[in-house]
Amino acid sequence: MSVTIYHNPACGTSRNTLAMIRQSGEQPEVIEYLKNPPDRARLIELIRAIRTDQGDGNFRPRAAA
């Protein structure tokens, strides 16, 4: 299995997630999405993959600030 993470080094959650992936022994492909944002076609691919892998593709709503 290959692992890709769309990473924001300024985000603690992203840093923690990347650390957990690496601690599991995986060497993920790291894409800093603020420097290299995915194009529309790639976003569509990701959304379709989420819908396929996770059921309906619903995302968890962001908590109120």
- The catalytic residue positions are 11
Contact (Cβ atoms closer than 8 angstroms) between residue 29 and residue 42: no
Residues 6+ apart with CB under 8 A from 27: 3
